[in-house]
Amino acid sequence: MLNVPPQAFPAPSSQQRAAAGGRAKVPLKPGRSLMDWIRLTKSGKDMTGLKGRLIEVTEDELAKHNKKEDCWICIRGFVYNVTPYMEYHPGGEDELMKAAGTDGTDLFDQVHRWVNYESMLKECLVGRMAVKPIAAPKEITSVCEEKKQLNGMLPEKKVLSGASKDLTPSYDWFQTDSLITIVIYTKQKDMNAELVILDHEDKRLRGEIIVDDYSYLLEVDLDHAVEEDMAVNIAEKVGKVEIILKKKDNVHWKILGQPLESHNTFMKRTDRGLFYRKCKLVLKTEVTHDTKLFCLLLPESTHLRVPTGQHVYLKQIIAGTEVVKPYTPVLPFLPLDFKEPSCHDSAHIYLMIKIYSCGLFTQALDHLQIGDCISVSNPEGSFKKSQVQTSEDLFLLAAGTGFTPMVKLLNFALTEVSCLRTVKLIFFNRTEDDILWRNQLEQLALKDQRFEIQFILSQPKKDWVGKQGMISSSLLSEFVKRSRKDSKVLICICGPTPFTEQGVQYLKDLGYSQEEVHPFTA
């Protein structure tokens, strides 16, 4: 077997290794599942000890509640009594105790930024943190300057998190009788469609531009209605993005619209909240005995491309509680002809998801009917294609549904990276029946001489003639070898958290540097 607990391969609530940002989960006691927690919060029990009262909490008061039997935590200015949640926390009590009696916002963002704590802990809300009086900041701009308008809109200057003003994007707009064209000057070379995310519903338009680790947001309530479909043109070399909207009525617009709260802001991506849109389930097919491929249709009024190596979050309301899980999109199949870049299906998102018999979230997913909708977030992730483009040897270590980020990575590597000499997938599974897309992978290995596939089973049948065992230093030293002594190598690893953590350590022990190893975690 692989050197992980059986229940963690993969962990029932940690699909595709992405939960907990690399923190290992701990076994929960019977009766302490997510569904059990939801039932408890709806039981009417006083979860705060305050009999329904909300109070203002000072720092001194918060600090007093720093024990397992009396634990308060502050997240974004709100204080929660997490004492009753201790035994239900998948990361264990010790992880919660790191923030006991303090402001745990930073720790929470490192580990669980995608989790809707407001929904999960709403019955544990104690109240707000008391606000310290601070000196009023000096005015930087005059009142008259603030009132200057750019094409009818207030130019709110919000450059946050230390971003350089020289890199801050700007925008303008113009119109014809039938069209509205918004031009965003990103000041970013090599701008591409994956860095532009657009949504509009009714008259609300939201456009997000990714600039390295920063995010520029254009968000307005349009002056008049527009058609659902829109065009996006990108001048990649100069970093100019054009958004072309069709007017519903051929009227002259005096202004583009009213700016919303986050309009014209530029901040670190990690500081910006997740945005979701409703996507429709249009197809669901079996991949293996317990894994299915879900095809979700994006709204016509959405422009979204999920970059290679990045994931999205799915959000469902289960028993009145908002539950969120991360998944890495795949392709509908593995292309076998890599002579030219494959045509990207920009209208759909494909997700390969293992359905757990006791998994609250995946069971709800499996019960979705064709035509039902589910909320899908903007993409997130730290992987950069440039990591592959400078490599000569690419090794992909995957366990179970940790295979999912490798799908697009394989496609990109074999299609667009000419300097690669070796691309090897080392795929860990329990049994032959668990191997995802086995036939496609074997066909690909026959088709492209650069690609090699190695299946390793932890619980094979007696007639299995392939490799068997667990992830180990000796196994990795056998299969992960540079094609030349000085060749540039990239090793990507993905699976349940213990598998990933052990793999990273083994690779380090074998002499591979941190820059040569990329673990996929959310």
Mean pLDDT over all residues of the chain? 85
376, two tokens = 């899908």
Whether residues 515 and 389 share a domain: the answer is yes
DSSP 86-132: GGG-TT-HHHHHTTTTSB-HHHHHHHHTTS-HHHHTGGGEEEEEPPP
10 pLDDT more than 70: no
Whether residues 327 and 447 share a domain: the answer is no
pLDDT in tens, 174-193: 999 999 999 999 988 889 99
Q: Which residue has the tokens 């179970």?
A: 400
pLDDT in tens, 252-311: 999 999 999 999 999 988 888 889 999 999 999 999 999 999 999 999 999 999 999 999
Handedness of CA 76, 81, 87, 93 (dihedral sign): positive
Whether residues 71 and 123 share a domain: the answer is yes
Residue 109 lies in a domain: yes
208, two tokens = 């997000």
How distant, in Å, are the alpha carbons of 27, 331, 439 from that of 66? 23, 47, 54
Residue 7, pLDDT score: 32
431, two tokens = 């049994």
396, two tokens = 């992909």
218 pLDDT more than 90: yes
Read off the CATH number of the domain in which 323 is found.
Answer: 2.40.30.10
Whether residues 362 and 283 share a domain: the answer is yes
pLDDT in tens, 133-163: 544 433 323 333 333 333 434 344 444 444 4
Residue 165, pLDDT score: 54
C-alpha 400, offset from chain centre:
19
| Highest mean pLDDT, choosing among 73-77, 333-337, 436-440 | 436-440
Main-chain dihedrals φ then ψ at residue 171, nearest 5 degrees: -145, 165
316 pLDDT more than 50: yes
Of 268, 300, 335, which marks where a domain is finished? 268
In the chain, % of residues over pLDDT 70: 86
How distant, in Å, are the alpha carbons of 149, 233, 325, 522 from that of 259? 12, 23, 31, 32
510 pLDDT more than 90: yes
Residue 307 lies in a domain: yes
Whether residues 281 and 253 share a domain: the answer is no
Q: Give the whole-angstrom CA distance, residue 476 versus residue 347.
A: 39
Whether residues 407 and 514 share a domain: the answer is yes
Whole-prediction pTM = 0.78
pLDDT in tens, 355-384: 998 888 999 999 999 999 999 999 999 899
Beta bridge partners, 207, equal 198, 218
202 and 244 Cβ atoms separated by less than 8 Å: no
Residue 522, pLDDT score: 67
Considering its fold, how many domains does the chain have in total? 4
Residue 11, pLDDT score: 33
427, two tokens = 């795929």
For residue 347, give its domain range: 276-380
Least confident of 13-17, 63-67, 406-410, 515-519: 13-17
469, two tokens = 């065992």
Handedness of CA 26, 32, 38, 42 (dihedral sign): negative
Give the mean pLDDT of 11-26.
41
Residue 352, pLDDT score: 97
214 pLDDT more than 60: yes
